[in-house]
Amino acid sequence: MKFIIAAACTFLIYATCNYNDNKFVSRNVETELPGIYRQGSESKYTIDIASFDFNSPTSNSTTTNTIPVTIMDARIKEHEENLSKKDFFNKHGFVIIDHKSAMSAKDWSTSDRVVPIKNLFRDNFYGLGDHYNKVMDGYRNAETPAKHIYAKEVEGMIRSVFPQTKEVIAPAQGLLRRAVPNVTNAPVKTMHTDYGFIGFDGLLNNIKYIDFHSHIEKYEEIEANEFMLVNFWRPVLPMSKKLRSNPLCFLDTSTVNEKDQVTVNIQKDGKISTNNLYSLKENPRHEFYYYPDMTTDEVVIFKQFHQMRNESTARMPTFHTSFVDPAADEETEGRISFEYRVAILS
């Protein structure tokens, strides 16, 4: 059985699926995603920070499109494939975990990163001085609930899903996003990946809003074979209803080619920033997924960077974006989410 609900240019497609004698109702979405570079676009562009929108990084580029896509139900995908959480993650670049956190609404708020990433882009183009070092030290070592509570919870989840883990490097702060007007950290509404398809040199030289030197030093010290950066993303308290406000959409890494990536250089006063952004070219092979109706007792783990010691290039990261859920209405609770970026050394 299938039926469709329309909302503006976005459609819900419900379908009943049978799996192992159980019935599941999938909730696919037909919608449009902005900020996708056209096929045949260049692989690198430069944008001036004066006109740059950090909540929609490619919105001022004339070479981007808004493309129609079907965002498929990842819950059904997991049921159909019947893989372990580790194998599903390794295949697609994301997976959902049931997890009830001991963190309170106040804990999430006080664990928010003090200086927004977009301010680090704007203020730290030239020279990484005392202020930058102070910000990085707070990110790693501040006395926060995330450091004392959530970091331990996350390490438990990591060792459950990735039992080969040797070391977990978790920060003291994460990023709290709210879907309300004029907020500093609103949901990002363009398909992107945070670190790109780059190796260690790119991670150190092109990404400055997190200092990865100590991560890579630890990787060498313990002689790990695998270095992975993952994001633990979830709706959080004080949310009390299922998430239908700006949920997160993930691009299946198995459907992406290295040539699909677009590097966006940010310039200020005619000089290129050391911080790059990474966007996407349109490709009909791409498959998009989301987890409908997430609760505060669930967390999605998705891949941001993955380097194996015996491989010359990094593996594909997971492109992602928020989008409008057509199931949302006037009564929908606004999204409050927390993203927590962790290094896994195996």
Check if the beta carbon of residue 254 is closer than 8 Å to that of residue 341: no
- What pLDDT, on the 0 to 100 scale, is given for residue 120? 60
- What pLDDT, on the 0 to 100 scale, is given for residue 118? 59
- What pLDDT, on the 0 to 100 scale, is given for residue 49? 66
- What pLDDT, on the 0 to 100 scale, is given for residue 160? 97
d(CA 16, CA 95): 22
Q: Helices 85-92 & 74-81, crossing angle to 10 degrees?
A: 120
Cα dihedral sign, 103-83-227-168: positive
d(CA 214, CA 137): 11
- What pLDDT, on the 0 to 100 scale, is given for residue 180? 77
- What pLDDT, on the 0 to 100 scale, is given for residue 128? 62
- What pLDDT, on the 0 to 100 scale, is given for residue 2? 37
- What pLDDT, on the 0 to 100 scale, is given for residue 1? 34
Q: List the one residue out of 307, 304, 315, 321 whose CA is nearest residue 210.
A: 304
Q: Per-block average pLDDT, block size 10, for the chain (346 residues)?
A: 42 60 77 89 81 55 81 97 98 98 98 73 56 84 97 98 98 92 80 86 79 93 97 98 97 96 80 74 97 98 96 92 93 97 98
Burial class (CB in 10 A: 0-12, 13-18, 19+), 30: middle
Would you list the domain boundaries of the chain?
Answer: 35-67+95-345
Place of tokens 């790059």: 276
Tens of pLDDT, residues 293-325 = 999 999 999 999 999 999 988 999 999 999 999
d(CA 258, CA 242): 35
